[in-house]
Structure 1
Amino acid sequence: MAGAIEIFHVKTVADKKRFVEVQFALNKADPAWVPPLKMDALELLTPGKNPWFEHGHGDLFIAVRDGRDVGRISAHIDHLWLDMPAEQGGGRDIGNWGLFEAVDQEVANVLIGHAEDWLRKEGMTKAVGPISISIWDEPGLLIKGHDHSPTVMMGHHSPKYEAWIEAAGYAGIKDLNTYELDITKPFPPLIQRIVSSGERNPRITIRKVDKSKFKQEAELILSILNDAWSDNWGFLPITDAEINYVGKKLKPIVFNELIRIAEVEGEPVAFMMTWPDLNEMQKDLNGNLFPFGVVKLLWRLNGGFSGKPKVRTMRVPLMGVKKKLQATRLASQLAFMMIEYIRKDSVELFGASRGEIGWILEDNQGMVSIADAIESHINKVYRIYGKAL
């Protein structure tokens, strides 16, 4: 008979390393799971390294039974979420939990209950999760697509978790979808005509980013993003410190050909960001860069001696068009042009054959229409849950 479950409060660096190892222990038998780099996973949890802690705070907990770590969870409050308008999912009384792993439903119940108690003590009356730990990190619980690996910066969870979370009284409040498509095939004739029409329009310029001006280009993209997404459900403005943090981590997979900026009469009004799927390159490293993992990863990132990685999958994590153009024909034309140019370069220069777009909010009709028009289909669904405390 299993013993009682105890909750261990994470405090030290050694404790955080132990927290990271729980995820490895509980997922190692899942062939679709991609081990994160342990140094990155630890940095995510560390104030002073992860700038999320400049506007958020929280605690980490490990479930222990019979001397064995059998689960983990975070409970946290993002002060930007508290300031988010109610119509976008925010409120002064909403806290989050995430980074959830559990070996069985009993452990899940205890962990979620403990996170809820923590939130109540902080004055929260509603819990929204899983959010791990920012909505810009790995939001939602995977409820569809367990049979294939996630792309870079997307989560993967046991299919058992859905029932366990719902049994704890949670109901879905928003689904985030990713779409996949075969990028070796040309887009439908209508899309090709729209792209050709845009190419004849002297007002439109679609340019590559210049990685040698990384900081300036990142700031430009951030300014478009914060305008384009500001009315979306769950939108939290990305701070300058966060863009620098993410930019430093992801700079090795930033390539000029894979990020485009659309200009109309010289004004930058839209962007599309694409990354080679880093998960394909690091899956077999088991989270370790040393002693040999760093050499393998660098070799793969550089495509041997070619300077460009060869991957099967490209992920489009972010697209945006300034609000003043949204819901116009020009906005969709710019989007299709950027998608087509990046599709071609992804195939010709990087050897990719598959694209994944998202996540996309289930009710973001503009982006859903674009995904449908290029004949992509939903391959993964991530659900964000809510519960009154």
Structure 2
Amino acid sequence: MHFPYEVALPANIVVRPVSGKRDTKAFIDLAFRLNANDPHWVPPLKSEVAGTIDPKKNGWFSHAEGQLFLAERDGKTVGRISAHIDTLALEMPAEQGFGPGTGFWGMFEAEDEATAQALIAQAEQWLAGKGTTRALGPVSLSIWEEPGLLVKGHDHAPTVMMGHHAPQYRGWIEGAGYAPTKKLLTYELDITREFPPVVQRIVKSGEKNARINVREVDKSNFDREAEIILAILNDAWSDNWGFVPLTPPEIDDVGKKLKPIVFNDLIRIAELDGEPVAFMITLPNLNEAIAPLKGSLLPFGWAKLLLWLRKPKSRTMRVPLMGVVKRLQSSRMASQLAFMMIEYIRRSATANYGAERGEIGWILDDNQGMIAIADAIQSQVNREYIVYQKPIG
């Protein structure tokens, strides 16, 4: 294959494609070595990472292709990166962030800046060889998984399904010619305190409105509830930056992963005149349970995890997704439904799971509606992520 430009590597660094089980193991294990001294890094379950990067096990690959790379210095693994193309992202309008010519890289870890530069250059070469003209990163792997580089919030551990990166990566990525294209925010708040009086009044007003019904999900009817939430999500988020519709294979994967940490009283669907129009998903912070397992369920990690899942006690709850159908957005009704769902879940989280802290995100930095809601419940930005871009080819 002819590449539009060649990558000049330092003499002692080799970047090569991942091939076979040994390379895959090295790709996964590297993150554990490089982050071993970071007290806030949460070791992921290695089996989960293996499933994410395996095209046979990750439904995202039904509309995407990619290549993993390892960087080696004198035979030692010192870095890793993925380069990937999402065909659905290519079809999205350019004004929403992606569109024709867009490629991605992610799963990024590097021992030093020279390694980082070599890895990024190799990812760009692979993407350019596929005909892309613009690289975005880090995005690991789907935009729905771990988008962006952590640039604020290194002083505390991430919650479930959130990325955590070494502080020096920012300078290395910007040094490779990348500029920010979108900032993603996470908000935290003390959920043991009642919300301000104005929010309480809005909630009570909604409770008096016979048109509104905010209900718990029914996990025994998981597929049907997931279908309702997905329909609202795809409508509510369709105009957002970075939106790529979730496909049936991905939905199946998400269902399998999240079902063990889905609890009826932590996920709410709001109905207006009997029609589902809004939802809010809250997850107990699984990271609190898996952090001590050091990436493995063996020999006894599986038993500890199962015990936690039966009746989780979680200091932190994360709200990864919330949505209101497009026709109601920017209306008072949308805010009212959001406050009602937040309040009901707050009560359940504190009473039934011992939660003290909530985390909402990520939220796009230009999503004024969600930012206004976060401000109204007196939450504060605790983590910031940046998605970078660069012309290539």
Shared fold (TM-score, shorter chain, > 0.5): yes
For 1:318-339, what per-residue CA distance to the aligned partner results, in whole angstroms no more than 9, with x for missing partners?
0000001000000000000000
The amino acid across from 2:334 in the alignment is A
For 1:202-258, what per-residue CA distance to the aligned partner results, in whole angstroms no more than 9, with x for missing partners?
000000000000011011100100000000000010112111101101111100000
Matches within 5 A, 1:199-218: 199-218=207-226
Q: Secondary structure at 2:166's aligned position in 1? A: coil
CA distance in 2, matches of 1:260, 1:109: 45
CA distance in 2, matches of 1:76, 1:289: 29
Q: Secondary structure at 2:313's aligned position in 1? A: coil
Which residue of structure 1 aligns with residue 303 of structure 2? Answer: 295
Which residue of structure 1 aligns with residue 45 of structure 2? Answer: 37
Q: Secondary structure at 2:161's aligned position in 1? A: coil
Unmatched runs of 5 consecutive residues or more in structure 2: 1-9
For 1:261-310, what per-residue CA distance to the aligned partner results, in whole angstroms no more than 9, with x for missing partners?
000010000000000000011001011001110011111122xxxxx200
1:370 aligns with 2:373: yes
Which residue of structure 1 aligns with residue 361 of structure 2? Answer: 358
Which residue of structure 2 aligns with residue 314 of structure 1? Answer: 317
CA distance in 2, matches of 1:29, 1:124: 37
How far is 1:67 from its partner?
1.7
The amino acid across from 2:368 in the alignment is Q
Which residue of structure 1 aligns with residue 142 of structure 2? Answer: 134
Q: Secondary structure at 1:177's aligned position in 2? A: strand
CA distance in 2, matches of 1:94, 1:265: 42
Pairing partner for 2:288 from 268, 280, 283: 280
CA distance in 2, matches of 1:323, 1:76: 31
1:265 to 1:313, Cα distance in 2 relative to 1, 3 A: same
Is contact 2:140-2:146 (8 Å) kept?
yes
The amino acid across from 1:335 in the alignment is A
Which residue of structure 1 aligns with residue 86 of structure 2? Answer: 78
1:330 aligns with 2:333: yes
1:257 aligns with 2:260: no
Which residue of structure 1 aligns with residue 151 of structure 2? Answer: 143
Which residue of structure 1 aligns with residue 348 of structure 2? Answer: 345
How far is 1:14 from its partner?
3.0
1:96 aligns with 2:99: no
CA distance in 1, matches of 2:308, 2:215: 27
The amino acid across from 1:359 in the alignment is W
Is contact 1:3-1:66 (8 Å) kept?
no
CA distance in 2, matches of 1:87, 1:120: 21
For 1:170-209, what per-residue CA distance to the aligned partner results, in whole angstroms no more than 9, with x for missing partners?
0001000000000000000000000000000000000000
Is contact 2:270-2:341 (8 Å) kept?
yes
Which residue of structure 1 aligns with residue 241 of structure 2? Answer: 233
Is contact 2:319-2:361 (8 Å) kept?
yes
Is contact 2:94-2:100 (8 Å) kept?
no
Pairing partner for 2:73 from 61, 65, 71: 65
Pairing partner for 1:121 from 126, 129, 132: 129
The amino acid across from 2:122 in the alignment is H
Pairing partner for 1:27 from 35, 48, 64: 35
Q: Secondary structure at 2:184's aligned position in 1? A: strand
How far is 1:3 from its partner?
6.5
CA distance in 2, matches of 1:349, 1:4: 56
How far is 1:8 from its partner?
2.5
CA distance in 2, matches of 1:338, 1:32: 30
Matches within 5 A, 1:152-171: 152-171=160-179
1:387 aligns with 2:379: no
- Give aligned pairs, total: 383
CA distance in 2, matches of 1:18, 1:164: 22
1:189 aligns with 2:189: no
Pairing partner for 2:277 from 255, 269, 274: 269
Is contact 1:195-1:336 (8 Å) kept?
yes
Which residue of structure 1 aligns with residue 228 of structure 2? Answer: 220
Q: Secondary structure at 2:103's aligned position in 1? A: strand
Pairing partner for 1:10 from 18, 22, 40: 18
The amino acid across from 1:318 in the alignment is L
RMSD: 0.9
The amino acid across from 1:376 in the alignment is S
Is contact 1:3-1:65 (8 Å) kept?
no
Which residue of structure 2 aligns with residue 305 of structure 1? Answer: none
The amino acid across from 1:146 in the alignment is H
CA distance in 2, matches of 1:241, 1:332: 32
How far is 1:16 from its partner?
1.5
How far is 1:134 from its partner?
0.5
Is contact 1:257-1:345 (8 Å) kept?
yes
CA distance in 1, matches of 2:177, 2:11: 25
The percent of aligned pairs where both chains have the same amino acid is 63
Runs of at least 4 residues off by over 4 Å: none
CA distance in 2, matches of 1:347, 1:94: 43
